[in-house]
Structure 1
Amino acid sequence: MPLLVVIPARAGSTRLPLKPLLPIAGVTLLHRTIAYARRALADMPKVQLIVATDHEAIAAHAREFGCDAVITDAAIATGSGRALAAARLSPTTPEIIINLQGDAPFQPISAPAAIIHALSTRDADVATPVVRLTWEALDALRDHKRNTPFSGTTCARAANGRALWFSKKIIPAIRNEGQLRSAVEPCPVWRHIGIYGYRRDALERFEAGPASELERLEGLEQLRLLELGLRIEAVEVSPAPFDISGIDTPADIVRAETLIAAHGDPHF
């Protein structure tokens, strides 16, 4: 089936202007994301990969590394909206559109293929990956959120894989957590990985609707999908070598560089 993978790369980040061009350990964020995408899609040579941006310098930087790029309207508010704009400019008519998030190059390498498989085999409108946290990873996430409370998203997920809710808070709340830990029960918290796969009609419905109040409050576009009644499959994947959800602040860059220095570069 026609498949388009889009890396939205917006210039106008408030905290990190021209964020896709910022270096992390000597390699720009955009170059890292393109390298991640190519590794993740290596077994799918017919998949089209494209950068969708609102800035010519970012498009030119993508083309330096042999990646197609299109200029999309700067007024588009979400990465998913930018992915749809790229799909509308495509000479083909993709049935599935993957939004790879241009600020998250350290995600699990299996995630794109996993969501493509989910949309190919299951009855879902949208698929997105999640990682089950260990108790130690949950402690680390709580510590991280003391300083950056809106970095990192968790997912409440039904036993059949259906996503019930997403939040910048850590959900679910855990009653009797000490007893669960003592009994060596698995941690019930799932961390969301910011990659989305959409059926074309679901993405069209998303972009046609206004941002919801809950979406604005949390800053999470997937809440609009849930409020529209669309089914989101939360696909379990193995964690990445680096437990870092995305690059949102200068502190995230420092953290990524510290991890690279300690453990090596996952893509270069």
Structure 2
Amino acid sequence: MAVVIVIPARHASTRYPGKPLVELRGAGGQARSLIRRSWDAARQVQGAGRVIVATDDARIADHAAAFGAEVTMTSADCRNGTERCAEVLAGLPERPEMIVNLQGDAPLTPPWFIEDLIAGLRAAPDADAATPVLNCTGAMRADLLADRAAGQVGGTTAVFGAGGQALYFSKEVIPFVPGDVAPDAPSPVFHHVGVYAYRPEALEAYAGWPEGALERLEGLEQLRFLENGRRMLCVRVEARGRAFWELNNPSDVPRIEAMMAAMGMG
């Protein structure tokens, strides 16, 4: 069993309760739930074996099973998606090469993001986990800054060093950039794409660590790896003309639907 994709989904989101069941309308007006669109995205990934929806909520489980997804019920005590993935790993009959965590709020994630992520972790044997990062244009950076000015989190940003080693992740827009950046020009800001690939031993270790102080402050589960001295690789991915945004707030629904319509996604 080489690669297993897990889609963690919970109903009790602080910022957006019931988010996995929110319907998004595509280019043809067809409505599908967020969790269904995330599952559809996962099934397009080349080289992945099983795709599992992991949840502690019967409403999500029943809905996912109805459209044909494999579902694993996990504990309500899981504090984040990574812990939920660790619980799925513990129940697998065979040990996979890696677990990919495709969070259920990223329906616009193109398959090559995940394929490049898998290839990146395979090529870095000293990395415990990996996550994709997307270079922000000036326009995308401006959108992130506008959300923060409005008191919302529009996305997470990442800074990394030599060899792609993650240094920090934040819901603030980092690093600080003096002045403006032209809308179509690349900026020094990298948008963190909410997908992770873990080696099984790293995922098992994660489940045994207490929640970190920075993890708690930022509300970012991946910081637990950094706080425990583990190496997380940032894998640069290319948009290839595809728009990307995650559904974090109710106001993101029309934005994502507009992006889907512009790209002809049904």
Could you state the TM-score of these two structures normalised by the residue count of structure 2?
Answer: 0.90
Q: State the one-letter code of the partner of 1:250.
A: P
CA-CA distance at 1:265 after TM superposition: 4.3
User: What residue in structure 2 maps to residue 241 of structure 1?
Assistant: 242
Q: Equivalent residues in 2 for 1:209-228 (5 A)? A: 209-228=209-228
Q: State the one-letter code of the partner of 2:128.
A: D
Q: State the one-letter code of the partner of 2:49.
A: V
Answer with 130-139 or 189-198: which moved more: 130-139
CA-CA distance at 1:130 after TM superposition: 0.2
Aligned equivalents of 1:31, 1:90: Cα separation in 2: 23
Aligned equivalents of 1:147, 1:205: Cα separation in 2: 37
Aligned equivalents of 2:87, 2:128: Cα separation in 1: 18
Q: State the one-letter code of the partner of 1:193.
A: V
Q: Is the 8 A contact 2:242 2:263 kept in 1?
A: no
User: What residue in structure 2 maps to residue 162 of structure 1?
Assistant: 165
Aligned equivalents of 1:51, 1:172: Cα separation in 2: 34
Q: Is the 8 A contact 1:52 1:86 kept in 2?
A: yes
1:135 maps onto 2:135 in alignment: no
Q: Equivalent residues in 2 for 1:1-268 (5 A)? A: 2-25=2-25, 26-39=31-44, 41=45, 43-44=46-47, 47-122=49-124, 123-175=126-178, 177=179, 186-239=186-239, 241-244=242-245, 246-261=246-261, 263-266=262-265, 268=266
CA-CA distance at 1:148 after TM superposition: 4.5
1:7-50 per-position Cα deviation (integer Å, ceiling 9, x unaligned): 001121134332211111111001100111111x1x22x61110
Aligned equivalents of 1:104, 1:114: Cα separation in 2: 16
Aligned equivalents of 1:157, 1:142: Cα separation in 2: 20
Answer with 227-236 or 62-71: which moved more: 62-71
Q: State the one-letter code of the partner of 1:37.
A: A
Aligned CA distance change for structure 1 residues 35 and 265 (closer, same or farther; 3 Å): farther
Q: State the one-letter code of the partner of 2:7.
A: I
What SS does the aligned partner of 1:160 have? helix
Aligned equivalents of 1:155, 1:72: Cα separation in 2: 29
In the TM superposition, structure 1's runs of 4+ consecutive aligned residues that sit over 6 Å from their partners are: none
Aligned equivalents of 2:232, 2:193: Cα separation in 1: 13
State, as a whole percentage, how many aligned pairs show the same letter.
39
Aligned equivalents of 1:94, 1:35: Cα separation in 2: 22
What SS does the aligned partner of 1:110 have? helix
Answer with 58-67 or 194-203: which moved more: 58-67
CA-CA distance at 1:102 after TM superposition: 0.9
CA-CA distance at 1:186 after TM superposition: 4.4
Aligned CA distance change for structure 1 residues 24 and 234 (closer, same or farther; 3 Å): same
Q: State the one-letter code of the partner of 2:21.
A: L
The aligned length equals 258
1:122-177 per-position Cα deviation (integer Å, ceiling 9, x unaligned): 121111000111222212221232224323111111142111111111111124x4
Q: State the one-letter code of the partner of 1:107.
A: T
